[in-house]
Amino acid sequence: MAAHDDRASLMVELLGRPALAHAAQDLLRPVLASLLVGRFLNQGVLTDTLALPETDFQNLWAEHFPGEWLSLHSGTGQAPLELQDLRNLLLQYRAAESAAEVWLAQIVAFACCGRDHLWQDLGLANRSELSVLMTVAFPALAALNVGDMKWKKFLYRHYCSTESIYVCPAPSCGECADHAKCFAPEQ
């Protein structure tokens, strides 16, 4: 593939490839393409396999974007200690419509190690791509984010509450002094 630095043209190129039948219909295919493009552009914290085992990464390429691979950079992220717990949390809520949901549970859980907004740590173009990812892959979990809390904060808050770990001092988000930090627009 020719070297590109333009996200839009890379997206068009990847999504123009003839995917396998089930992958071509996968609503998550554009999100997967954006993750790959982000890694190619050295955005986010993911590894050069998007934090997936090599076999899963090869399957992602073969099924969704057959042809020449992009040369991906490896990010600086280190797997968070709670990687498996976050992955399991996401898998509990998966839509069970696509094998990509299992990959995305791993990818999202790994990206939680970053220090920026989750969409940035994933290397996505914007927060709306992350919202599509969450709504399509993990719809029941996304539905619980009724206040449109920032996704990483929401995932950790939900994870902590399921483990009976309460780190927020206020009894509800509306009463919390840090409300704006959790619910402010992500720039």
Whether 41 is covered by a domain: the verdict is yes
* Residue 54 reports pLDDT greater than 90: yes
* Angle formed by the axes of helices 29-40 and 54-64, nearest 10°: 120
Say what the pLDDT of residue 73 is.
Answer: 85
Q: Which of 43, 121, 48, 126 is nearest to 86 (CA)?
A: 121
CA distance 64 to 82: 29
Say what the pLDDT of residue 1 is.
Answer: 44
Whether the CB-CB separation of 23 and 64 falls below 8 Å is answered with: yes
CA distance 111 to 99: 19
Whether 177 is covered by a domain: the verdict is yes
* Angle formed by the axes of helices 29-40 and 100-111, nearest 10°: 40
Domain count for the chain: 1
Instruction: Indicate the pLDDT class of residue 3, thresholds 50, 70 and 90.
Output: very low
Instruction: Indicate the pLDDT class of residue 148, thresholds 50, 70 and 90.
Output: confident
Q: What is the mean pLDDT of residues 158-186?
A: 61
CA distance 181 to 85: 24
Q: What is the mean pLDDT of residues 112-128?
A: 94
Q: What is the mean pLDDT of residues 90-97?
A: 95
At 124, list the tokens.
């996505």
Q: If you search the block for the tokens 């990687």, which residue do you land on? A: 83
Q: How far is CA 119 from the centre of its chain?
A: 7
Q: Which domain holds residue 134?
A: 7-183
Q: What is the mean pLDDT of residues 73-83?
A: 84
Instruction: Indicate the pLDDT class of residue 160, thresholds 50, 70 and 90.
Output: confident
E strand or H helix at 157: helix 151-162
* Residue 133 reports pLDDT greater than 90: yes
Say what the pLDDT of residue 116 is.
Answer: 92
Whether 2 is covered by a domain: the verdict is no
29-53: per-residue pLDDT in tens?
999 999 999 999 999 999 999 999 9
Q: Over the chain, what is the mean pLDDT?
A: 87
Q: What is the mean pLDDT of residues 73-80?
A: 83
Q: What is the mean pLDDT of residues 137-150?
A: 92
Q: What is the mean pLDDT of residues 100-129?
A: 95
Say what the pLDDT of residue 153 is.
Answer: 86
Q: What is the mean pLDDT of residues 144-165?
A: 82
The reported pTM is 0.86
